[in-house]
Structure 1
């Protein structure tokens, strides 16, 4: 089964916390998507071995 996660309206600090929790718990997701403002568009965050 493929699991995709999308989080709407988070700032960078919130996103980093969410990604750390997913990584700590080894949550088996295939894709994590950040839906944020234009100000944040194009920025990348790392999750596990992915960017």
Structure 2
């Protein structure tokens, strides 16, 4: 199943119980969202193995 979007709030909510550092969780969630958004076109393309 392909991921269509990253919701930083849901990711933050899921990660909060696992990490004691809330600043890390916030930064990580925002960074993952930015990376995903900036690479969405490349991720959506089907790659063909050579």
TM-score for both structures, normalised by structure 1:
0.35
Higher-strand-fraction structure? 1
What TM-score do you get using the length of structure 2 for normalisation? Answer: 0.35
Task: Please identify which structure carries the higher helix content.
Answer: 2
Structure number, greater radius of gyration: 2
